[in-house]
Amino acid sequence: MHTDTERCVRAVQSKDSRFDGWFFTAVLTTRIYCRPSCPAVPPKVENMTFLPSAAACQQAGFRACKRCRPDTSPGSPEWNARADSVARAMRLIRDGVVDREGVQGLATRLGYSARQIERQLNAELGAGPLALARAQRAQTARLLIETSALPMADVAFAAGFSSIRTFNDTVREVFALSPTELRTRAARGPGAGPQTPGVLTLRLPYRAPLHPDNLFGHLAATAVPGVEEWRDGAYRRTLRLPYGTGIAALAPRPGYVECRLALTDLRDLTIAISRCRWLLDLDADPAAVDELLAADPLLAPLVAKAPGRRVPRTVDAAEFAVRAVLGQQVSTAAARTHAARLVVAHGERVEDPEGGLTRLFPSMAELAALDPEALALPRSRRATLTTLVGALADGSLPLGIDSDWELARERLSGLPGFGPWTVEVIAMRALGDPDAFLPSDLGIRRAAQGLGLPHTPAALTARAAAWRPWRAYAVQHLWATDDHPVNLMPA
């Protein structure tokens, strides 16, 4: 979008927050970059230039605005709506892969050479993978500086910097303040307050509107005991992370989602935030989704009633695939029971001083070693589960935020016991395909019939072509016509 100068200028002059994260405004006279909704007086048009990423702004010598804090913008929704190599690379960089595995590790995951990835990212975002990762490290450092009492040396290494000197230089360059000045400034801010020892409290921004009922209702109604729970107005769950474990508590608030993280290793902060945002679909563009779906006269009343619906996702694609198999042709309660048995038998224990979380969901390596005869499932379902777990454990079926959606569908469809419903629900909630569609789902067919839409799978699929590429969001609206607990905000 940053190449459409006229549209960008209109967004800046109207301070339109819908475009935050889509592009950044770099002011040539002050050498500052802002989000489009910056409350400052807009600069003259001739003094503005538009760049596609914070990393591109920083690489061009601009520093972040102290008023609008562009580093805290929601992520660009473009990377969640596409499955090409650039979008997959951006999802991996946001997940901290470059910090953990380097540019070569990023390229290997995507199946390209490091030079190809560098060229593609520079062409579209104006910065390569190292610059993009550096911008993210600066953002993580700012979070730790402002929301914790950690010594600055611990902040530096937790944010992914290789040295304290690099950390200090980057913070000064990006924010025009030293780390100590950032912390002092935050302590005087309106959000300042006491912090629970060992717990980081963050605000996760999103593009308004956000309708939380089905989002948190679905997560709470399908929660696996010991791994997930709804407590004190927040969805809580355990996290398996690269360097350790964690517990996340997520609660909807006006204008943001409150996120409380307890991590055994602070180096996991970047990926924990990324997974929480992914889980709640916080980088979506609800205005674009609602505009297209509301163009259908039969969907328009549903969109008007609950604008800003999101797709509830998962923090672990492999975990969700296992749970999808356990949920085949059974009720939500039965699926929870089957998953809870696996957790009790094979899940690693964790400590949760604040609530009732006791275990991690078992890893695929742990599940691959289980005795199929011990599963209280029909024989065909056992075969489906063990085949899936084996493929996930040996790497022949890679599932994650970087998956190629169509290739993943093809591989899932080749497994025994995987029909269109299971494949599409995994594509929608685990892989994040915004166009995944479930025309054979009983709830969808009932809703379609009640609205006057075709209710046979083939006819409904043909009718839903007008909803592309947002059919996964149409699914949420159709599901919400029922009074099932997954559609209701927990008490």
- 34 classed as catalytic: yes
Q: Residue written as tokens 């355990």?
A: 238
Distance CA 274, CA 95 (A): 6
Q: What is the dihedral of CA 16, 18, 23, 24, to 10 degrees?
A: 40
Distance CA 50, CA 57 (A): 9
Distance CA 475, CA 43 (A): 42
**Closest residue by Cα to residue 256 from 215, 202, 214, 305:** 202
Task: Provide the 3-class DSSP secondary structure of residue 166.
Answer: helix
Residue 363 has φ and ψ, to the nearest 5°, of -75, 165
**Annotated catalytic residue, options 34, 65, 68, 259:** 34
Distance CA 214, CA 490 (A): 10
CA atoms 116, 118, 119, 121: torsion sign:
positive
| 3-state per-residue secondary structure call for 342-383 | HHHHHCCECCCCCCCCCECCCCHHHHHCCCHHHCCCCHHHHH
Which run of H or E residues covers position 238? strand 234-240
Q: Residue written as tokens 């075969």?
A: 383
Q: Do residues 16 and 8 lie in contact, with contact meaning Cβ atoms separated by under 8 Å?
A: no
**Annotated catalytic residue, options 281, 285, 433, 441:** 441
Q: Which two tokens stand for residue 208?
A: 């308004």
- 441 classed as catalytic: yes
63-64: strand order across its sheet: 48-51, 24-27, 32-34, 63-64
Residue 254: DSSP 8-state: T
Distance CA 257, CA 270 (A): 16
Distance CA 389, CA 346 (A): 14
Q: Give the Cβ contact number of residue 464 at 10 Å.
A: 22
Whole-Å CA distances, 407 to 29, 348, 431:
48, 32, 11
Task: Provide the 3-class DSSP secondary structure of residue 149.
Answer: coil
Q: Give the Cβ contact number of residue 14 at 10 Å.
A: 13
Distance CA 152, CA 184 (A): 13
Residue 117 has φ and ψ, to the nearest 5°, of -65, -45
Write out the catalytic residue numbers.
34, 441
